[in-house]
């Protein structure tokens, strides 16, 4: 394959990654709703450790575990923010606090 072929492959992989990240975001939002309804904290370090362990076990390379860990730290951070927004949105609908008034676990 030449560089143009590799770039086409990367473009297709990026489309697949975007689709999967959005699926993950949908799942995170639904978990945020469940957490809201059960008063569970947004930040769950034990769960995050499980995610990092699962990712490390699934890693066949060529990415090093540390690099993949960094990617997942950012993904988890974004997903946590989605859950926070779900809680803020619900409180705003109920006439409660605004996003500046809400204290959520970080």
* Contact yes or no for 83/31 (Cβ under 8 A): yes
**Contact predicate 29/84, CB 8 Å:** no
Q: Tell me what pLDDT residue 14 has.
A: 98
pTM for the predicted model, two decimal places: 0.79
What SS3 string covers 56-93? Answer: HHHCCCCCCHHHHHHHHHHHHHHHHHHHHHHHHHHHHH
Residue ranges for the chain with pLDDT beneath 50: 99-106
Class of domain 3-93: mainly alpha
Cα angle vertex 97, ends 93, 100, to 5°?
120
Residue for token pair 């076990």: 57
What is the predicted pLDDT for the residue at 91?
A: 65
Q: Give residue 86's pLDDT.
A: 79
- Per-domain boundaries in the chain: 3-93
């Amino acid at each position: 394959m030449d560089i143009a072929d590799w770039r086409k492959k990367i473009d297709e992989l990026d489309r697949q990654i975007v689709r999967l990240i959005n699926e993950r975001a949908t799942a995170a939002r639904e978990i945020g709703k469940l957490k809201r309804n059960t008063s569970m904290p947004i930040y769950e370090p034990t769960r995050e450790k499980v995610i990092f362990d699962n990712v490390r076990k699934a890693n066949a390379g060529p990415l090093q575990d540390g690099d993949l860990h960094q990617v997942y730290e950012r993904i988890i951070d974004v997903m946590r923010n989605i859950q926070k927004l779900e809680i803020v949105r619900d409180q705003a609908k109920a006439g409660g606090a605004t996003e500046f008034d809400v204290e959520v676990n970080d």
